[in-house]
Amino acid sequence: MTQSATQIEVGTGPEARVIAVRHRAGPPDRPGIVWLGGYRSDMAGTKAVELDRWADEKRHACTRFDYSGHGESGGDFELGTISRWLEESLAVFDRFTAGPQLLVGSSMGGWIAIRMLQELRKSGKAERVSGLLLLAPAPDFTSDLHEPLLTEAQKRDLDTKGYYEEETPYGPDPNVFTRALFEDGRNNRVMTGMIETGCPVHIIQGMEDPDVPYSHALRLIEHLPADDVVLTLVRDGDHRLSRPQDISLLLNAAAQMLHD
């Protein structure tokens, strides 16, 4: 059954933006699922839709949404930062979910998922996260994956225009990376010490990923507790991980983490 989007407002005054959310309720005695998309992706993508379909079949609540400047949500994409999208993610989490939730983060959504867990732990709500399922996770991608590869022209654009553009194979429009995104990213870095999760973590990573090399997933594991961390490497997997066999890996991992 197709869900209609619910709209909520996050932020106040000039910072207010309308966030589109699709929430499927489930039995209160079963953990729910929260989908966290990647940079410039949206909740209508293959992985998000298939996860929602599976959750409905297995009687789990499922919540997915678009960050500001993405998909059906309002707001200017170029104002987006990790802190801004984190604020929206926590607002959706607080408004729509109850009980333990499996956070499923794709690419940048993996970074958001880790930051959400950190913020929830700070506020004494660590028990609300039953696990992290991360697909090609890209924590600290601004400082660790992009900044070292910036060309002189891109550095000049960041200094003079406040942004640079980069062609992408995932759509007709170029990616836009802003100076604010890089500066805010440094304040949200997570791979600077031990990441205390208090819950199981499962990472699925393609070894042919041109955007987030699998060495980045290996580095992330070094910052996670040794127990309850599983890494699945897909030898011929790319960044999208949206092929039928990749979706099967995703759903099987979710089933294991939710004890289905």
| Widest CA span in the chain | 55
Does residue 216 sit within a domain? yes
Does residue 171 sit within a domain? yes
pTM for the complete prediction?
A: 0.96
Q: Select from 87, 109, 91 the least CA-distant residue to 43.
A: 109
DSSP string, 161-218: TSEEEE--TTSSSPEEEEHHHHHHHHHT--TTS----SS-EEEEEETT-SSS-HHHHH
Give the per-residue pLDDT at 170: 75
Q: Select from 260, 218, 241 the least CA-distant residue to 102.
A: 260
Does residue 91 sit within a domain? yes
The pair of structure tokens assigned to 35 is 């989908």
What is the residue-level pLDDT of the chain in tens, covering all 260 positions?
Answer: 557 899 999 999 999 999 999 999 999 999 999 999 999 999 999 999 999 999 999 999 999 999 999 999 999 999 999 999 999 999 999 999 999 999 999 999 999 999 999 999 999 999 999 999 999 999 999 999 999 999 999 999 999 999 999 888 777 788 899 999 999 999 999 999 999 999 999 999 999 999 999 999 999 999 998 779 999 999 999 999 999 999 999 999 999 999 98
* Cβ 229 vs Cβ 221: under 8 Å: yes
* Cβ 97 vs Cβ 31: under 8 Å: no
Residue 46: CATH number of its domain: 3.40.50.1820
- Determine the residue type at 221: I
Does residue 24 sit within a domain? yes
Does residue 129 sit within a domain? yes
Does residue 114 sit within a domain? yes
- Give how many domains the chain has, as a whole number: 1
Between CA 202 and CA 179 the distance in angstroms is 32
DSSP string, 36-84: E--TT--TTSHHHHHHHHHHHHHT--EEEE--TTSTT--S-GGG--HHH
* Cβ 213 vs Cβ 144: under 8 Å: no
- Determine the residue type at 249: L
Does residue 1 sit within a domain? no
Between CA 8 and CA 18 the distance in angstroms is 6
Instruction: State the residue range of the domain holding 40.
Output: 6-257
